[in-house]
């Protein structure tokens, strides 16, 4: 797999002059588009152990996706690759660093958070365009009752589109819960998540369940939040990932544990996240490293989230 991925990227770079020439060869463009949107290309990023290297490379890859989209509008996979890439980049390299800034850096945090929101929405829109290519009329159905019928037609191999569209939508809303224009879309995002669960709840080792941990765990009960549902989806996420992903533990700790002011559970969950072996080269390697960084930061700054004695539950 590694050799295949390397060869694929060699082909891309050798063909770069042709891509930008006036007489662009559509066949070559399609070839590059297929390579970049393949699972092997995604694995090259997801299995890396150097978040900074990936963070430096992603902007180039994302702009290349957009160049290809401008030329080839009938490849749904390139829309998915671009959309999911923007959403991942926004979360790992824009919003998470913004969340970790001190209160004194309020202006910078606000600017970065707004940028993250824009990137989330750009990613969501690309994924929705991919769904439109696969299921003509889908985007138009978002504003009427036909959406339910369209969701019933989604095939198992296309669950990724539902997950990433919902993830981008929810993440954008989370940056500003007072944005009414985003709030009205939450029912649509929730419908996509529920459809994804019905079709393939094991997708991405339970990543849809993980998203629902954040959704139900962060919202107040008056807006649909539910600790019971958050814990249910947490248990399913851990089960389907065989306990090899750090992110479900971080998600429950940062939402339900904080909301309940349960510092002992908070600490235990984050220590479980840190105990996961992120040295193994798996498809979750990069995500685990990034989640563990967040877990360490949350532990170091738990005083900011708990009114109780911060020393309680500090055992590591």
In the chain, what percentage of residues exceed pLDDT 90? 66
Quick check: 197 and 211 in contact, CB under 8 A?
no
Note the pLDDT of residue 241. 95
Quick check: 86 and 126 in contact, CB under 8 A?
yes
Nearest to 87 by CA among 7, 173, 12, 16: 173
Long-range CB contact pairs, 276-282, < 8 A, 24+: 276/243, 276/244, 276/245, 276/246, 277/244, 278/49, 278/246, 279/49, 281/47, 281/49, 282/47, 282/244
Note the pLDDT of residue 311. 55
Note the pLDDT of residue 197. 95
pLDDT in tens, 27-80: 555 555 555 555 555 577 788 889 999 999 999 989 989 988 988 888 999 999
pLDDT in tens, 209-221: 999 999 999 988 8
In the chain, what percentage of residues exceed pLDDT 70? 84
* Range with lowest mean pLDDT among 29-38, 184-193, 245-254: 29-38
Q: What is the pTM of this model?
A: 0.85
| Averaged pLDDT score across all residues of the chain | 87
**DSSP state string for 60-90:** HHHHHHHHHHHH--S-HHHHHHHHHHHHHHH
Task: Kindly state the average pLDDT of the residues 126-152.
Answer: 92
Note the pLDDT of residue 316. 44
Note the pLDDT of residue 284. 87
Q: Using CA atoms, how far apart are residues 281 and 182, in angstroms rounded to an integer?
A: 37
Note the pLDDT of residue 224. 87
Please report which confidence band the pLDDT of residue 226 belongs to, taking 50, 70 and 90 as the band edges: very high
> For residue 314, is pLDDT > 90?
no
Domains and CATH numbers, the chain: 214-316 (1.25.40.920)
> For residue 313, is pLDDT > 50?
no
Note the pLDDT of residue 143. 81
Note the pLDDT of residue 202. 95
> For residue 267, is pLDDT > 70?
yes
> For residue 11, is pLDDT > 50?
no
């Amino acid at each position: 797999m590694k050799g295949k991925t390397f060869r694929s990227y060699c082909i891309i770079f050798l063909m770069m002059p042709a891509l930008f020439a006036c007489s662009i060869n559509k066949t070559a463009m399609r070839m590059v588009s297929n390579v970049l949107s393949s699972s092997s290309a995604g694995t090259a990023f997801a299995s890396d152990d150097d978040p900074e290297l990936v963070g430096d490379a992603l902007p180039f890859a994302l702009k290349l996706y957009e160049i290809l989209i401008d030329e080839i509008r009938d490849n749904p996979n390139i829309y998915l690759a671009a959309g999911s890439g923007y959403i991942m980049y926004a979360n790992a390299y824009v919003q998470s660093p913004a969340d970790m800034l001190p209160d004194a850096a309020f202006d910078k945090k606000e600017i970065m958070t707004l940028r993250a929101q824009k990137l989330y929405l750009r990613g969501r829109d690309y994924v929705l365009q991919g769904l439109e290519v696969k299921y003509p009329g889908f985007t138009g159905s978002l504003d009427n009752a036909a959406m339910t019928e369209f969701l019933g037609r989604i095939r198992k191999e296309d669950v990724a589109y539902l997950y990433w569209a919902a993830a981008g939508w929810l993440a954008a809303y989370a940056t500003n819960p007072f944005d009414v224009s985003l709030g009205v879309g939450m029912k649509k995002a929730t419908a996509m998540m529920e459809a994804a669960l019905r079709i393939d709840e094991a997708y991405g080792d339970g990543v849809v369940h993980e998203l629902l941990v954040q959704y139900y765990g962060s919202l107040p009960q008056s807006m649909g939040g539910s600790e019971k549902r958050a814990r249910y989806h947490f248990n399913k996420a851990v089960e389907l990932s065989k306990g090899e992903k750090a992110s479900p533990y971080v998600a429950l700790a940062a939402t339900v544990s904080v909301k309940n002011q349960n510092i002992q559970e908070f600490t235990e969950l984050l220590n479980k996240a840190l105990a996961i072996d992120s040295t193994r080269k798996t498809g979750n390697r990069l995500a685990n490293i990034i989640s563990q960084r967040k877990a360490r930061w949350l532990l170091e700054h738990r005083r900011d989230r708990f009114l109780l004695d911060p020393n309680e539950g500090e055992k590591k």
